[in-house]
Amino acid sequence: MFATLSITGSKADYLQYERMNSTDSILRTYVIESVQTYPDLTSLRSLLVSLSEDKIALATSNNLIITQGYSGKRQLPETESFARIVVEFDEEYGRATALKWLSSEVICVGFENGCIACFLYDGTFMYEHRAQTSQVQSLRVSNKELYPGMGIGLWVLFEDNMLITVYIVIDVKLFAP
Amino acid sequence: MIMIVQIPLKNIFNGAEEGIARFRLSSSAELNDFVFLPNSLLKGSKYSDISHSVLVSGVNCALALHSIGGKAQFQHLSRLAALGKDKAGTAISKTLSSFFGGSASPSNAYDKSRAQDLVEEYQLTPVFEFEDTKRRILRLSIDPRGKLIACADGLGRVMLVDTRINTVIRYAFAVICLCVRFLYSLTWLQNLERCSRCSSCVERRELPTI
């Protein structure tokens, strides 16, 4: 599997991410319009990425951007618009430092102040948790269910070398509009 | 050096009831990322108590392997699971919600200060370490089969580790560009040279071989 990220367009006005298999066929393309709005995107700094089955999540230092991809070639139809969800983080969180899809519908973001926050794919805030005061370095999900009904095992690595696991039971239906 | 450490699991949680477990990774190094090794690598009675095998990366100690585990050590979490089932009307189990400071019914209200007292930190010592004081591994990515791990360092180099024999089997010297750095955090890569096709690269330079 190979992946590319490119900023394309006559004025670098959208960002395109492609996943390809070994035969170079494009599996999926994700488009984010109005890249200029996000300086972190154009410079590719402080940028985090996580992929689910059909969605991509990008976190800049203070924004979360979620968009669905589509199957097709890299040439983009001019008239087609793409759904995009943008969440602006609270300043108290600090910079986003880690990003991970817990499932195909829930995205988790780790922050500089030690908080982890979960959002639905439509940007709905679900909950936050601050187990440590040091920066979140990395997030991983363990699907190993220690007990029936245990839920998702979210593992968080902090800057002070603390590794924490939190088991979360999420019912996405409760957050549906 | 790669080392595998086993932890006496029965002493870990000590009756705490929180849906959270804390492990202090004993290392003076700054850690950046971690991955889970597949359990298929842990065969035999020697590893019967290990539930998670975690490979961490960082500075000084480039790679370290920690074993966490045993179902018995997470036993208190089973009560949490039961609570979660009972409280199906909540998005997140109320035990967790109360611990996290969310809304909770009085019956499930949790004293945070007491929780802090109960939640112990368990010191984990790596059983296996790969020491490289000059290498700063920023990102780890494990292949879907769990047999290989790509380790990306701060200079754009990629080290390939075979998890079956705990050995570095290949170094890749990629060009540095912002795109490559970005890709490291994305997914499993097998052909870094293709990055040169990316039109967004703004900085490139060849890296010297070690």
pLDDT of residue A91: 87
Query: Which of B118, B52, B123, B117 lies closest to B79 in space, CA to CA?
Result: B118
Average pLDDT over all residues of chain B? 59
Q: Which residue of B has its CA nearest to A6?
A: B200
Classify residue A113 by burial, with Cβ atoms within 10 Å: 0-12, 13-18, 19+.
Answer: middle
User: Shortest CB distance from B179 goes to which of A5, A142, A162?
Assistant: A5
pLDDT, one tens digit per residue, over A55-104 is: 888 888 888 888 877 665 555 555 455 557 788 888 889 889 999 988 88
**Interface membership of A82 toward B (CB under 8 Å):** no
Q: Evaluate if residue B16 carries a pLDDT over 90.
A: no
Q: Which residues of B touch A51 (CB under 8 A)?
A: 186-187
pLDDT, one tens digit per residue, over A22-35 is: 555 566 667 666 66
Cα A97 → chain centroid: 11
pLDDT of residue A157: 93
The confidence band for A139, taking pLDDT boundaries of 50, 70 and 90, is very high
- Asked if residue B150 lies in contact with residue A14, where contact means CB atoms within 8 angstroms, the answer is no
Non-local (6+) Cβ contacts of A161 within 8 A are: B24, B25, B26, B27, B29, B30, B31
Q: What is the mean pLDDT of residues A41-59?
A: 74
Average pLDDT over all residues of chain A? 74
pLDDT of residue B9: 30
**Interface membership of A76 toward B (CB under 8 Å):** no
In B107-146, the residues whose Cβ lies within 8 Å of chain A are 121, 124
Of the ranges A70-84, A107-121, B99-113, the best mean pLDDT one? A107-121
